[in-house]
Structure 1
């Protein structure tokens, strides 16, 4: 089996009805600690006004091309540099941990609560434990008191937004319950419930703003409910949109075979109605571009360029995931018989070698490709097993 076959097999395992690979299918949109947030420059002052005083949701009929984007000044990254070890490029963002907590339980990272504390999950089933792991001492303490509803089949990974931790469960008949707790921990509280039919839930992304929970669903539509609780309501004019980075949503929805990611041909600010299209590519083939606010990538050509068409360049490896996480990071791999995986930064051109070396076509290589696949709906935490340890990368800590 060559590397292209291996990648196709790995991506097929990530179809809509498959269990989303860790760490999450959600993008943390508002960290609780001061960090550099990519794409914030694209949110106009009108967004702030809307959050404070309310807003009118007037979104025009969308076209695939959309209007030309406004002027967005982004520094052009240099030509991609030769790969260097991950720890050498971003020492402050990389943590090497044991595979088990001190109580002997295996764990999966969820989100960074602060610079020294990582929220981790124990238990593979629908009733997980959530612990605050101190990166300096290795000590872990129970962080969330949570009892999953009776009959729960699936408990999602955790996302963080505006000082709140959020997750959901899926139970009998597809009933989806959304829970929250402050970043500081405590007893979980249910926000709302949704009737839906997908095994692992039909939510794209969740975000908290102005005392409300906002989310989008796989079938399309941006919905909101007060954080105090209530019935989920569709925001007028958003029935075809999918949230990708609060408060921006994307159109159109991709074919189901492409997995979770909206293509982002047109993005809409759901608070102000502002729209941005993307460049027109006369050579675009059946493989579309995947875009966030600033960057677009095309997996079939390994090309990246900005939404306005500028900054076109070849990425230094084979792309096997979707649009860049945090509008910046991609995981890439090699095309030869040995699988090597790199973390590529479109903003700077830095290419970090994750240290992975596996024979192409093996179960180990397939597992590592799945572990290191990044997706814009993931919490911005990359983690994978290497040499009997767990490597955890906090992408929001990279300047």
Structure 2
């Protein structure tokens, strides 16, 4: 049992590595947290992202909250603006440069045109500001906004198959040569996109600043791909290899129960079995097994996610990927 009361099992052999939460790097089995699915007043919340190793961002209706994992206290951060005609509520949360960003979408009268609004608020709270707005492409299997990132120059996102867009100072521009590509991790964008569950996303990736292109290594079928590597399964087998984009072997992993997905943070993939989920770390060659979760309810992982969320009764079980060594 972990300190959070969540039953986990872990393969041993962890080793040091990079982490996003400065001074808070932990082994995989120590970054599993359990939090209530409802506010003290009864409103249901949804985990969005880790602000750091001890603070979790939650959304509930028109409000954002911060859950302090050590004290168990939840405090309101900001109200979420919902312009007239809003039909798609806050999604795509990301954080960077001291700001939390997300998007909403509104539909014009008659339902023929949808516009995405991109918002940001300081990590410490304050006034929510609309950073940019952009007309969305027509509905398709490619999805709507398929990636959102805070860059040194402003916001970047991908929309349907229209490519990658950047916004700075209120002006929105499409990045040349990105049609059909979806933001993975700035400045990398790839194809296919993440919205079709039958395809493994990001088998091909391109640096939209330099033009460098990388493809999924073979032979075999890619199961999960990140910026520098993919998990590739031999046809007809659940045994898989971890291969660099250059084809060099980086180890092996059991891909049983592993659906097509992005390789989160270029190292993590999730597999499912009855009543439990496995989070594989291909960098350290370990896996954490979270028991007793509802695998029938899956929260789709987006390429920029720094956490994985599972449901367990009246709790959420959260694995903070950004804090892993």
TM-score by length of 2: 0.79
In structure 2, distance between residues paired with 1:395 and 1:293: 16
In structure 1, distance between residues paired with 2:189 and 2:306: 18
Structure showing greater relative contact order (alpha-carbon pairs closer than 8 Å, 6 or more residues apart):
1
In structure 2, distance between residues paired with 1:271 and 1:254: 19
Q: Would you say the 8 A contact 2:54–2:70 is kept in 1? A: yes
Partner of 1:133: 67
Q: Deviation per CA, 1:359-379, whole angstroms, max 9, x where unpaired?
A: xxxxx5422xx14x54424x2
Tell me the number of residue pairs that the alignment of Structure 1 and Structure 2 aligns: 294
Deviation at 1:34, TM superposition (A): 2.7
Higher strand share: 2
- Structure 2: unaligned runs, 5 residues or longer: 1-18, 108-112
Q: Deviation per CA, 1:234-284, whole angstroms, max 9, x where unpaired?
A: 12222243221111122x43697446863323x222122233334342xx4
In structure 1, distance between residues paired with 2:255 and 2:316: 25
Which 10-residue stretch deviates more, 289-298 or 196-205? 196-205
Over the residues paired in the alignment, what is the CA RMSD in angstroms? Answer: 3.0
1:304 aligns with 2:238: no
Partner of 1:159: 94
Aligned pairs (5 A) from 1:205-244: 205-226=147-168, 228-230=169-171, 232-244=172-184
Partner of 1:394: 320
Deviation at 1:397, TM superposition (A): 0.7
In structure 2, distance between residues paired with 1:272 and 1:279: 21
Q: Would you say the 8 A contact 1:321–1:330 is kept in 2? A: no
Runs of 4+ in 1 over 6 A off after TM superposition: none
- Structure 1: unaligned runs, 5 residues or longer: 1-29, 38-86, 358-363
Instruction: Choose from 46, 57, 60 the match for 1:122.
Output: 60
TM-score by length of 1: 0.65
Q: Secondary structure at the match of 2:322?
A: helix
Instruction: Choose from 212, 231, 256 the match for 1:274.
Output: 212
Relative to 1, partners in 2 of residues 1:329 and 1:35: Cα closer, same or farther, differing over 3 Å?
A: farther
Q: Would you say the 8 A contact 2:106–2:115 is kept in 1? A: yes
Q: Secondary structure at the match of 1:90?
A: helix
1:318 aligns with 2:306: no
Q: Deviation per CA, 1:276-322, whole angstroms, max 9, x where unpaired?
A: 334342xx4xx555421222124664413222221352426321241
Deviation at 1:147, TM superposition (A): 2.1
1:175 aligns with 2:115: yes
Aligned pairs (5 A) from 1:1-150: 33-34=21-22, 90-91=29-30, 93-123=31-61, 128-150=62-84
